[in-house]
Structure 1
Amino acid sequence: MSPRAGLTTERLVRAGAELSDEVGFEQVTVSALARQFDVKVASLYSHVKSSQDLRTRIALLSLEEMADRLATALAGRAGKDALAAFANVYRDYAREHPGRYTAARLTLDPETAAASAGPRHAQMTRAILRGYDLTEPDQTHAVRLLGSVFHGYISLETAGGFSHSAPDTRETWVWIVDRLDALLRTWPPSAPSDPAPAPEPTPRPTE
Structure 2
Amino acid sequence: MARAGLDTHTLVLAAAELADEYGVEEVTLAALAAKLGVRSPSLYNHINGLAGLRTLMAVYGLEQLYEVMSAAMEGVSGEVAVHAMSQAYIEFTRQHPGLYQTTLKAPEQGDTALEAAGGKILSLILQVLSGFGLDEEGRLHAVRGLRSILHGFSTLEHQGGFAMPLDLNVTLTRLINTYIAGIGCMGSDAASLK
What is the TM-score with the length of structure 2 in the denominator? 0.90
SS in 2 for 1:131: helix
Q: Percent identical across equivalent pairs? A: 34
| Deviation of 1:110 (Å) | 2.8
Moved over 6 A (4+): none
> 1:190 is matched with which residue?
188
Distance 1:193 1:79 in 2: 24
Structure 2 residue runs without a partner (length 5+)? none
Deviation at 1:24, TM superposition (A): 0.6
Alpha-carbon offset, residue 67 of structure 1: 0.9
- How far off its partner does 1:4 sit? 3.4
| CA distance 1:188–1:68, shift in 2 (3 Å) | closer
Larger mean CA deviation between 111-120 and 69-78 belongs to 111-120
Equivalences for residues 164-203 of structure 1 within 5 A: 164-184=163-183, 186-187=184-185, 189-191=187-189
Aligned in 2, Cα 1:25/1:161: closer, same or farther, shift over 3 Å? same
Q: How many pairs does the alignment contain?
A: 190
* Cα pair distance change 1:96/1:189, threshold 3 Å: closer
| Structure 1 position 79, deviation (Å) | 1.0
Q: Which AA in structure 2 matches 1:103?
A: T
Deviation at 1:48, TM superposition (A): 1.0
Distance change >3 Å, CA 75–CA 28, structure 1 → 2: same
The correspondence of residues 125-136 of structure 1 with structure 2, limited to 5 A, is 125-136=125-136
Aligned to 1:137, what secondary structure does the other structure show? Answer: helix
2:25 matched to which residue of 1?
26
Contact 1:63 1:116 in 2 (8 A): no
Match of 1:108 in 2: 107
CA separation of 1:35 and 1:115: change in aligned 2, threshold 3 A = same
One-letter amino acid of the structure 1 residue matched with residue 172 of structure 2 = W
Alignment-derived partner of residue 147 in structure 1: 147
- How much is the aligned-residue C-alpha RMSD, in angstroms? 2.1
3-state SS of paired residue (1:45): helix
- Structure with greater Cα Rg: 1
Counterpart contact for 2:78–2:128, Cα < 8 Å: yes
CA distance in 2, matches of 1:192, 1:173: 25
The verdict on how the C-alpha distance between 1:9 and 1:191 changes in structure 2, with shifts beyond 3 A counting, is closer
Q: C-alpha displacement at 1:130, in angstroms?
A: 0.8
**Structure 2 counterpart of 1:89:** 88
TM (norm. structure 1) is 0.84
